Amino acid sequence: MCICRKLFVTFALMKKLTIYHNPRCSKSRKALETLTEKGCELEVVEYLKTPLTKKLLKSLLMKLNMKPLEVVRTNEELFKKKFANKKFTDDEWIQILIENPVLLQRPIVASEYKAEIMRD
């Protein structure tokens, strides 16, 4: 069983989940489909339409146990053009992610105390 499937099973046992979703992303669509099939109570946040606040992004990073740079999509053209080979602080990366939500890894599924990036 791949790690995503194990995490889906774990999350399926939780009461309420929030998925930070990009409907144009196949992994995000698959995660939403799987969680829906499992009967999870879901809040779907299309983070490209409803950008994350600094407070929410910091909370997600704590739940993920990750640094801001670890959730950046470094393969995105925007990253390559504007941010590659540059040094930023964690707070600067948080601001960059807020201003450029396309750079955020996806999908992120969060419960009250834990979050995971649902990718293989």
Nearest to 115 by CA among 79, 76, 69, 62: 62
Question: What is the predicted pLDDT for the residue at 39?
Answer: 87
Instruction: Round to whole Å and give the CA distance between 115 and 113.
Output: 7
- Say what the pTM is: 0.86
12 pLDDT more than 70: no
The residue with greater pLDDT, 119 or 10, is 119
Mean predicted confidence (pLDDT) in 2-31 = 76
4 pLDDT more than 80: no
As annotated, the active-site residues are: 25
Instruction: Round to whole Å and give the CA distance between 73 and 53.
Output: 18
Domain of residue 41, CATH code: 3.40.30.10
The count of structural domains within the chain is: 1
Question: What is the predicted pLDDT for the residue at 1?
Answer: 41
Q: Which residues span the domain enclosing 17? A: 3-117
